Every structure is written in C-alpha cells, then in structure tokens.
Structure 1
Amino acid sequence: MGISFIFYYFAQKIAGEADFDFMKDNAYHRLKNNYRLQACDLKRYTDPNHLPKSSRLRLPKPDIAFGQSRAIKALNTALDIHANGYHVFAVGENGLGKRTLITRLLAERAKHMPTPNDWVYVHNFEDIRRPIAIDFPAGMAIIFQQKVHKLWQNAKKKLVAKLLGDTHQNHIELIKSAIPLQQNKRFDAINADAKQHNLVLKTTGDGRVHFVAIDDSKPIDNKKLTQLQKQLLEAQIELSELEDSTHDALDELHQSTAKKVLEPMFNAVMASFENHPKAIRHLMAVQDDMVKNITHIINEDDDNFIATSLSQVPSRYVVNILVSHQPSAGAPIVFEDLPTHLNLLGHIEYTTELGTVLTDVSMIRAGALHKANGGYLLLEAQSLLEHPYAWQGLKRALQSKQIKISSLEQMLTLTGSLSLEPDSVVLDVKVILLGEADLYYELLEFEPEFNSVFKVRADFHDDIQRDDYSEYGMVLKMVDMIKSHQLPNFDNTAFAVIIDELSKLSDDKNKLDLHADRLAGLLAESARIATLENNKIVSAKHVQTALDDITERKGYLKDLYWQEILNGQQIICTKGWAVGQINALTIISYADSEFGLPARLTALIQPNFGQGEILDIERDVELGGSLHAKGMLIMSSFLRALFSEFHELNFSASLAFEQSYGQIDGDSATLAEACALLSALANIPIAQNLAITGSMNQLGQAQAVGGVNAKIAGFFDACRDKGLDGNQGVILPRTNIAQLMLRDDIVQAVKDEQFHIYAIDHITDALALLSGMPIDDKNKHGEYKRNTLFGKIVKRLESWVQDDKDDKDNRTAKN
C-alpha cells in the first residue's frame, strides 16, 4: 500500500484516532482485481482479414442510406407528398455529408422526373411596367428567343428595303405633292384679290404670312383687309388639315406596306408556336407595335427602336430567357450558397444614363427558386437566416406557390423611383434546408409558421452501430471517396486503422463516426504520406502517421498546459496519499480539438459550523456552469441521505478545482468531488496515484460521462512523464466501458501492468479503491462499523455534535 500510507496509519494510531483497520496488501490487491479491466476491454481492433478483399474497382457502390436510414425515410416521405408544406429540414452536425447524400438521393429521383418548363419574360405593350411571363416546354425558350430575334433582324432589313424603294418613295412623293399645289392655288387666289385693294402677301423670315401695302401713299380699305385676313386664316387652317391628312395618308401607306411585309414573316413564326397562346399573342403584339412604329424603326429616331449592342434587338422586342433546360435533363437540383433575397427570388438590374435610372424587360434576372422550379432547392439554414428578408421571401413564395420578383428597395420604401412589376411565375419546388439541431429548435420556437412550411424533419445521425455490416459499408464508403478524389489505393490494414479511429471519434467502441468531412480529410492526409514515401499503396503505417500529424498539428494549446505540469507550475500528484485531495479528470475543448488533463480537486471541512452546507467555490465566483451545480446538489443530497439519520450534519465544507481559471461545467467530476469530501469528513487519506471520472445519482450509483478516452490519456501522460510505477490508474463508471477506445501505448501499458483501468458501479467501490479500507459494512444494529470509512465519519459527526453540546452547556453554566 506504500510507505507513506503506513506512516500515516501509525501516526493516526499514536494519536488515538486509528480505531479502524486498513486492508492487508493481499486483500487490497484482490479488491483491485475485482474492478481492474483487461487490455482487451480497452480498445476494439478491426481485423483486416475480415474486411472485403476485392479491388476498389470491383466493389459495389455504397448504399446511399448507409448509416442514415431514418433520414432517408423522412426525405422520401416528404418527396412523395405534394401537399402544401411538405418541405424538409435536414438536421445534423456540419461535416456529416448531408448535402452530398441528399444530392445523390435527389439525383436518382430527378432523372426519372419530367423536365420542367422554360420561362421567358417579354415586353408588355399594354402596360410597360408589367412584363409578361411565358412558359414553354423544356428547350423551347431558346428556340422562341432565336426566332423572335431573327424575325426582328430580317423584318427590319425587308422593311428598310421596301420603304426606301422607288415604288414606295414615288407613292410618298405623290401624296406629298398635293400640299404645295393646294397651297399655291389658295394663296394665289387670295393674293390676286388683295392686289386689287393695294395689298400683297409677304412671307417673313420665320415663315409667317401677312399682308403689306403695295403703295404706301394710297389708302387701305380696312374692311377689305379684315376680310382678306379671314380668308388667309381659313386657307391656313385648310392647309394644316391637308398636312394632317397627308401625314395620315403617309402613315397609312407606311403601315399598310409594313403589314404586307411583316404578316407572312410573323405567320411563319407563329405557326411554330400554335400550341402556345401566350406566345402567339405576344408575336401579334410585336407585329402590331412594329407596324404602328414603322417610321421610328426605319428612321431610328427613337431609342426604344434602336437595337442594343448585346442582343441586336430593341429592348421592347427582346425575349429574356429567365430559365431554360435541356429537354431530357430531368428535374433540376440547385444548391444556393448565397441565399440572399435577390438570389432566391430574382431581381431587376438597372442602368443610369444622364442621371436617370433605367431598366427594361431584358434586365430581369432569375433567382434560385426559378432555377430549381420543378425540382429541388437545397439551402444552408444558417446562411439563409443571416441575410435580411431572405427567409420572409422564401416563406411567402412557398406559401403562395408563386415567385414574384419585387424590388427590395420598393418593399422597404427606400426609393421613390418606379420599377418593373413582372408577372409571377407558378412555383412547384421541394426545398430542403440543412442545419444543426439548435437552429431547428430555435426556428420552431421563434418562427410561428416554420412548422407549417417545413413539416418534415430528417435527422442525420452522427454515428452508426459497429458490426460486420457497418464495417463493410464503411469500406465501400471509403473506396467511393478514394475513387472520387482520385487517391491511391488503400489496403485493408489502412482501412482497419481508419475504422478503429472512427470508433474513437464516436467515443464508443461499438459505434462508427459518420462525419464524411473528417473521413475525407484523413484519407487525403494518409494518401499524402504514402506519396511522400513513394508508396503506391496506402497502408496502416501511413494512416497512423497522418493521425499523429493531425494530433501534433492541433496540439499547441495542449503543449502549453503540459509544460506547466512538467515544470511544476500546475501541481499534480501521481504518487502518495492525501486527505481531501483527489485527481479529477477534465476535458479542454479548443476550436476543433479537445484533450484531457488531470486537475487537483480539494475538499475542506469546518466542524461545528453550519448544517452540512457545501460551498462550491467555482459556482460562487461564477466559473461553474449549471450542470456542475446540479452535480454538486446531487452529491449534497446523497450525503444528507447517507448520514442525516444518524446525526446532525454539524459542519460546513468547501470544494474547489485548484489552479483552475476558466469556466467549468458538466457533472463528470461529481464522483471525484464526493470522494474528496468523504475523505475529508473521515480524515482518511486517499491514493494520489489514481484519478477518477464519473457522474453519480442521489443513490451513489456511478454514471457514464463523455470524453473518457481523452481523460484517461491525460492522466496516463502525466504519470508517464512523472514516471510509471505500476500502481497508477484511472477509475471510471462501468457503464463507460463501451466507450473505451484508448491509444495503443495506453493499452500496452495496461497489458504490461504499468497502468490500470478500474470500472466501478457505486461510489463505495471508488472509495474502497482510493482508501484501501472497508467503506460501509454495518453491525447487527444497522450501524456502520467503526473500522469502516463511513463509520469513521459517523464517529467524527458524533464528536462534533457532542462538542457543540458541551460548548452550549458551558455557555449556559457561565450565564
């Protein structure tokens, strides 16, 4: 049991306090053997010979539902139902490969689904602010656009040739010649009459006509002048009407000529789209508009009829393809990595000319909903919620089953300028949000309509039960990754090491971690090591080297802590005995890594003060979390139940993690705290060569905790660096055995009996291992025997009660 422990015992004996017996060495050894785990319990190894031996090219593709059958079933349910709200929220940690798996599932469905329609926007000749949306079967939008644009180009050439031809120009001159003939005839008659009254018509430089005297010396008949002026006005009005009628005649000539040119051309195009009424109506509207505006088209005196450099077509005749598909492409699968309001629902671009903001139908742009319409849209939920109004826009579109492109500035009344209001597009899409569980539950709580829009939750698991089937499936998954990333071949020894590592990552020897991102990274780094060593096959040693490199790369913070332990700044005892002092095990989490560290935990008792209160120093200085506080309360409840039936708890206690300066949470130190406190209450030393981790309930039963592999490794490293003596080890709940996937060097140390792992069921088991004495044996009266640890505590409680009674009696006597 150690020299220091024997010295302690005899010191207590001399002081008259050692009225109990410690276990003999052989009894203590047998006790340890009852709880000691064998090396085979500490890690589950994969036999490379049990893995598939086929070459990677001959192995089948991995099952798409491997490890995620629950999620796949939920997805299929949502995809099969076409009622409102059956969209999906895929719940799972980042790096699980949710998107890849879902995309593969959707791809299998999509190729058997009909290809959705194409959509175009065209100019609305009745209301220019409301462009018209037209849909076509897949592949026809580009045909429609090409035919319309080509139609414009050909039509303009023919119109120019026809209207500038000699025949048409002769008709124009014939119509125009009537004006000067009629003008000369009327003005000559008026002028002849005026000359008889000493007046003549004169035309000024600005084109005005008026009467002047022929001979200023002769008088002018004002009455006649008034009459002549009236005749002149009537002639001017008549000539103006003649000009108007001439212009009308010219317009009619131009339009009738244009119509004769355009009608057969448009009829030929319309024949190609006879089953598309909206397309026919648009072509007819284009024809009518070109006929009405033939002079602008020919003269190019209006920007609305000048072809843009990009499309070679005036904007009013542009066919803007919003979305188009290959005819046999199947349903689209779209992942939008920047789900802003504009990127989801589309937007309208603008240009500025001379300070004026301009836009037209050609500047309407599709959003992800347009591109995914008729298929599937995948979005990262976190990214969606980070962009203002994106969620509201998506929700509104899904609820109304329409995509309405609207200016965000107009919605927020940030601008007074007018904008386009394009027709809505009918929406038929399945949306799949990807996110973690916390975000999903926040949406459920704070977004009342969320559950009515995303009715299906698909839960993706972090791990899978480890058995022959899952190991085989994992090999298939790795082979698929190796092939897709064009990595060198891996042999079965490499696969075996990786499978063992996946169990370690899952913190359970009977499970395999399913994080595809981590697995892909390990495969890539292992392949790199093999390539650097000029090996064409990746084997176990390359994987192990990659794992060591990853550990070293992430070990900066751990090294800083470890230096403090090695140089004595962080005080950790791995030998000897001490009262109220124990080695607890902690986990330090930093970014994407975590490691275990031992931590000294101490308990102090103040007799005759208080009623069993336990001061949690971490809690009082606000370094302890709620779970840690819960563990303290459970421990306090256990102690009260244990001893209150015998005596008053006439003491107070304090517990602290020494040299701890950061936040502490979790209940995994509850066993350690209880053991330290009971050691202090009994004034019995406990072994410092042992560390302990574990939670416990109010009945004292040990309960499993997380991070047990890292915690054991932390204490083992401390013992190794300070010197292994064959007595050191870790105590843990028996229910944690399934989680053990220890490092090979720790397993070897246990095999060589240089280090030990003890599994317990109850706190009394831990106390026996730590103290080396009986814990809770009772006599025939149901009282704890004096030679037990609990008996020692009872004796001390009795003495404190008696001391308090004597003190009160003395004070009473003095009064």
Structure 2
Amino acid sequence: MLEKLGPEKLRRHCDPHIFSFSSTEEIEPLSGIIGQERALEALRLGLSLKAPKSRHNVYVAGEPGLGKTSAVTQFLEEISQNQPVPPDICYVHNFLTPHMPRYLLLPPGKGRELKEDMDRFLEFLERELPRVMESEEMRARARRERELLEARREALFRELEAKARSLGFAVQRTPFGINTIPLKPDGSPYSHEEFQALPEEEKSAILRKQTELQDLVRETFQRLGELEESWQAQQKKLTQEAVRFLIEPRLSQLQAKYAGIPRVSEFLNAVLQDIVANAENLVAGKAKPQLPIPLPEPDRFLRYRVNLLVDRSGMKGAPVVVEENASYINLFGTIERRVQFGIVTTDFTQIRPGALHRANGGYLVLSALNVLRFPLSWDALKIALKSGEIRVEDPAQMLGYASTEGLRPEPIPLQVKVILIGPLWLYYLLYFYDEDFRKLFTIRADFDTEMPWTEEAAWAIARFIRARSLENPG
C-alpha cells in the first residue's frame, strides 16, 4: 500500500552523535578532495603517461560549481612538489642570423646569474674598453705604424720620381693624383708652345714614354693601396690583440662557470669574437656630435645582453599555471616594439613570455570554454602540442597575413601537460568534430555530482568545512 511521505522524510539528516567534537576547530582540516576518487585516478593516469611530444593531456569534465579548477589545482600542486624544477629560459642575440634570437635553457636560478654576470661584464667593458683603446701605449704603437707607413709611401714616390726622370719626366703630386710633366734635355719642363713646336717624331717618342710612365704611376698607386690596406689590417690586429687581452680572462671565467651548458658556451664564444671584431665601433659610439634635438642613445652593448624570459629561482617542484584568459598573447607571449620619432624597432630583449613558457616542464590549466573563445589560441595550442615547440610569433603571421619583417625567435622545446576543464557536452563536441583534440587529449576525468552517504564522508565534509574556515577566517 502506498504511503504519503511528509517533507521531513524527503531529506537526509546527519546524526551529530557520530562526531566526537563540539567545534570544527578541534579537528584537522581536509587537505584532499571529497568524493572524486575516480576523477583523481583518471587525472593521475593521464599525468603519469609520458610521450615524446605532449600527446596524453587531460580533459576534466563536470557540471559547473563542483570546484573542478580549485580541486585540480590543489591536486597538481601536491604532486608537483616532488618533481624536478624545469630550467630557466633565456633569449640571446643570434650573431649568425640576427633576426632569429637563440634560446638558452639553464638550471633553475642560473638564468638570473647569467644575466647578472653579463651585465657586470658589460659594465666592465664600457669602463675599460675606452681606457685601453686610448692608452698611451696604443697611441705610441699607432704612431710607430703610421710613421712606418709614411716612410714606405715616400720611398715609393722617390722610386717613381727616379723612374720618371730616367724617362725624361717630372712627377707632380696633387690632391687629385699625379701629373706627369715632360722635361727638356736641360731638366726644365716644356711649355705648351715649346712642346707643340717639336717635330712630330720627337713628340710621338715623348708620348710613348709618357704612356709607359702612366703604367708606372698606376703600379705605384696599386702598391700604395696595398700599403694602406696592410697598415689598416695591422692597426686592426693591434686593436684586436689589446681587446682580446682585456676581455678574454673575464669571459674565460664565465666559460668555466657555465661549462656544462653547451649553448651558453657557444654564446660566450660568439660574444668574445664579436667584441674583438667590433671594438673600434664600440668605442667610437661613445663620442658623437651634439644634435639640436637630443636623441636617446642606443645601447651599444645590447646584443651581448641576456633576456631572462622565465626565472625559476627559489621554485620548488614543477610549475602549475592556471591561465584564466587564454588569449594568444597570454598563452604564447609576444614581441613588443618601441616607437621612437615614428620609427618602429624591436630586438630580442623585447620578447615576453606567455603561460606556456611559465608552465613548460609542468602543468597548464585552462578553461575549455575560455580557450575556445580565442580560435587562434586553440589552433596554436594544438600546433604547439603536436610539434613539441613553443613559437613566439606575430598573430598576423600566424593567420597568414602579411606583416612587417621582424624577429622570428628560435622555437623552445615544449614538455607540458595541459588540463582542460569544461562541461561534458563540450568534450563530446570536440571529440567528434576535432580530430586533433582526440589525439591530444586522450584522458577524460569525470567529476561526479553525487557521493555515497557514509560516516567517513560526513567526517570528510566536516574536515572540508574546517579547511575552508581557515582559508576565509572572516
């Protein structure tokens, strides 16, 4: 026989006698998650699967209001504590291909050390380089080389003059070259009228000798050019030797400090070679004429600096990054630009990181609905996961539109687990209509809306209340 139930029978009552406390202040707060063992097991499985590229990512499905994001973040922060801290990420100038800055990966904290080491080295260089280049010893050596050059030039001219006199000519040096003047038997020059009055045969003989002399003049000028080139090469060699003697000990110390990181060693070696090759320009940039309108002075040592993109100093465990606004720039970073007097410029120090850079080596948590509001972000994220690389690109280039020629930073190796959080219906929509999603998000963790009513569950809820009261004491 059917019995009508009253309202008091349609709700479950918790028997307070199962609790041995009078206030939640007396119990330990809950550090875990209530009633989502199955979801956590699936999440743990997805995070444990390793692949050469980030293939086994996780979609966390469930109704709104279940606390999925906070639960997943708490779980990730707990498991990440026992995992290694990923490397620092830096960008430096590429001396071979300037528009493609090179990345450096260094042990945690070493990126900041390298940046500070290079800043100190450049302060030393800015202070000491002019002193060495303008030293009395360098000037004396330059004077000696210049005097030697002038002596050799004079010897060549005297040789030319002797050959010219043997041919019956005098040579006259002018700012525009050398004039050849025919001489009479007594050694005095012919006037124009006297030369024209000569018999044709004699004039022809003089002109033939003049042609021969012109060949000697050209040969002399060629030898003078070779002397000048040799002098310039010698001056450059002296400068390079002095600069190398100045900076090599400093850079050798850094080479020893970062010996286990090949890319840093390559960078330091390139810095040494570039400074030695461009020392005169680095010093010359110091003294410039005053302009009516003062312009900001460019950093002459910019290409030797280090752009520290991600600093892991003091970090414990793998990073857990929650990105609530998954725009393209927020995910992949950007290359900022400067505008000075209408001119747009940029360089490797203007590269800025995105959430993928910060999460590299760890975990990135995204809202599925949010990331899909940015189609460019979604497509670029799938490309990054498939290729195993983070590329910092202009969004216009990503879309295939023409853009101004700029930097194309070297892609950084990517090793990350992406956790997408969203409703179940969206998972099925993506699963059936997006082939890349099927391949990249191979694990689904379902958050339940129900849990068994047990005494253990009641205690867990009490401890959960205690934990929340500690988080929000007001």
TM-score range, shorter chain: 0.7 to 0.9
- Structure label with greater radius of gyration: 1
Aligned to 2:132: 162
Alignment partner of 1:201 out of 172, 191, 194: 172
- Summarize the alignment of residues 303-382 of structure 1 with structure 2, pairs less than 5 Å apart: 314-352=301-339, 357-382=344-369
Aligned to 2:279: 294
Aligned to 2:242: 257
Instruction: Determine if contact 1:52/1:472 at 8 Å carries over to the other structure.
Output: no
Alignment partner of 1:243 out of 209, 228, 231: 228
Q: Which letter does structure 1 place at the counterpart of 2:195?
A: P
Instruction: Determine if contact 1:191/1:201 at 8 Å carries over to the other structure.
Output: no
Alignment partner of 2:415 out of 409, 424, 428: 428
Instruction: Determine if contact 1:409/1:415 at 8 Å carries over to the other structure.
Output: yes
Instruction: Determine if contact 2:90/2:103 at 8 Å carries over to the other structure.
Output: yes
Q: Which letter does structure 2 place at the counterpart of 1:358?
A: T
In the TM superposition, what is the alpha-carbon distance from 1:165 to its structure 2 partner?
A: 0.5
CA distance in 1, matches of 2:436, 2:160: 85
SS of corresponding position for 1:119: strand
Alignment partner of 1:75 out of 43, 48, 60: 43
Aligned to 1:60: 28
2:101 equivalent to 1:96? no
Ranges in structure 1 where 5+ consecutive residues have no aligned partner: 1-30, 488-815
Equivalent residues, number: 449
CA distance in 1, matches of 2:287, 2:37: 64
- Summarize the alignment of residues 401-800 of structure 1 with structure 2, pairs less than 5 Å apart: 401-415=388-402, 417-487=404-474
Alignment partner of 2:100 out of 130, 144, 149: 130
Instruction: Determine if contact 2:21/2:27 at 8 Å carries over to the other structure.
Output: no
Instruction: Determine if contact 1:93/1:462 at 8 Å carries over to the other structure.
Output: yes
TM-aligned CA distance change 1:411 to 1:38, over 3 Å: closer
Deviation track 1:60-88 (CA, whole Å, cap 9, x = no partner) reads 12252202222112111212222453211
2:195 equivalent to 1:219? yes
With normalisation by structure 2, the TM-score equals 0.85
- The more displaced of 150-159 and 221-230 is 221-230
Ranges in structure 2 where 5+ consecutive residues have no aligned partner: 182-188, 197-205, 289-294
Aligned to 1:87: 57
Instruction: Determine if contact 1:155/1:265 at 8 Å carries over to the other structure.
Output: no
- The more displaced of 412-421 and 95-104 is 412-421
Instruction: Determine if contact 2:60/2:420 at 8 Å carries over to the other structure.
Output: yes
CA distance in 2, matches of 1:227, 1:408: 68
With normalisation by structure 1, the TM-score equals 0.51
SS of corresponding position for 2:105: strand
Deviation track 1:553-577 (CA, whole Å, cap 9, x = no partner) reads xxxxxxxxxxxxxxxxxxxxxxxxx
Q: Which letter does structure 2 place at the counterpart of 1:392?
A: D
CA distance in 1, matches of 2:279, 2:306: 20
Alignment partner of 1:210 out of 179, 204, 211: 179
Deviation track 1:747-806 (CA, whole Å, cap 9, x = no partner) reads xxxxxxxxxxxxxxxxxxxxxxxxxxxxxxxxxxxxxxxxxxxxxxxxxxxxxxxxxxxx
CA distance in 1, matches of 2:24, 2:146: 87
Aligned to 1:179: 149
2:252 equivalent to 1:267? yes
Q: Which letter does structure 2 place at the counterpart of 1:254?
A: T
- The more displaced of 375-384 and 326-335 is 326-335
Deviation track 1:533-566 (CA, whole Å, cap 9, x = no partner) reads xxxxxxxxxxxxxxxxxxxxxxxxxxxxxxxxxx
CA distance in 2, matches of 1:309, 1:377: 40
Instruction: Determine if contact 1:198/1:215 at 8 Å carries over to the other structure.
Output: no
In the TM superposition, what is the alpha-carbon distance from 1:267 to its structure 2 partner?
A: 1.0
Aligned to 1:743: none
CA distance in 2, matches of 1:449, 1:258: 55
TM-aligned CA distance change 1:309 to 1:353, over 3 Å: closer
SS of corresponding position for 1:160: helix
% identity of equivalent residues: 29
Q: Which letter does structure 2 place at the counterpart of 1:299?
A: A
Deviation track 1:216-269 (CA, whole Å, cap 9, x = no partner) reads 553275445444443333322221211111100101111112112222121111
SS of corresponding position for 2:129: helix
CA distance in 2, matches of 1:451, 1:431: 14
In the TM superposition, what is the alpha-carbon distance from 1:167 to its structure 2 partner?
A: 0.6
CA distance in 2, matches of 1:309, 1:286: 25
Instruction: Determine if contact 2:28/2:466 at 8 Å carries over to the other structure.
Output: no
Deviation track 1:273-320 (CA, whole Å, cap 9, x = no partner) reads 1211221121111101111111111212899xxxx9999672321211
Q: Higher relative CO (CA 8 A, sep ≥ 6), structure 1 or 2?
A: 2
- Summarize the alignment of residues 278-289 of structure 1 with structure 2, pairs less than 5 Å apart: 278-289=263-274
SS of corresponding position for 1:389: helix
In the TM superposition, what is the alpha-carbon distance from 1:164 to its structure 2 partner?
A: 1.1
TM-aligned CA distance change 1:41 to 1:313, over 3 Å: farther
Deviation track 1:589-627 (CA, whole Å, cap 9, x = no partner) reads xxxxxxxxxxxxxxxxxxxxxxxxxxxxxxxxxxxxxxx
In the TM superposition, what is the alpha-carbon distance from 1:457 to its structure 2 partner?
A: 1.1
CA distance in 1, matches of 2:87, 2:314: 9
Deviation track 1:405-462 (CA, whole Å, cap 9, x = no partner) reads 3333223332254333333222221110111122111111210221221111111123
CA distance in 2, matches of 1:81, 1:302: 60
Aligned to 2:200: none
CA distance in 2, matches of 1:196, 1:453: 89
CA distance in 2, matches of 1:417, 1:173: 48
CA distance in 2, matches of 1:39, 1:135: 65
CA distance in 2, matches of 1:104, 1:310: 49
Deviation track 1:683-737 (CA, whole Å, cap 9, x = no partner) reads xxxxxxxxxxxxxxxxxxxxxxxxxxxxxxxxxxxxxxxxxxxxxxxxxxxxxxx
Instruction: Determine if contact 2:282/2:300 at 8 Å carries over to the other structure.
Output: no
SS of corresponding position for 1:415: coil
CA distance in 2, matches of 1:148, 1:365: 20
Q: Which letter does structure 1 place at the counterpart of 2:390?
A: I
Aligned to 2:292: none
Instruction: Determine if contact 1:194/1:228 at 8 Å carries over to the other structure.
Output: no
Q: Which letter does structure 2 place at the counterpart of 1:72?
A: L
Q: Which letter does structure 2 place at the counterpart of 1:201?
A: Q
Instruction: Determine if contact 1:152/1:313 at 8 Å carries over to the other structure.
Output: no
The CA RMSD measured in Å over matched residues stands at 3.1
Q: Which letter does structure 2 place at the counterpart of 1:64?
A: G
CA distance in 2, matches of 1:319, 1:161: 25
Instruction: Determine if contact 1:286/1:317 at 8 Å carries over to the other structure.
Output: yes
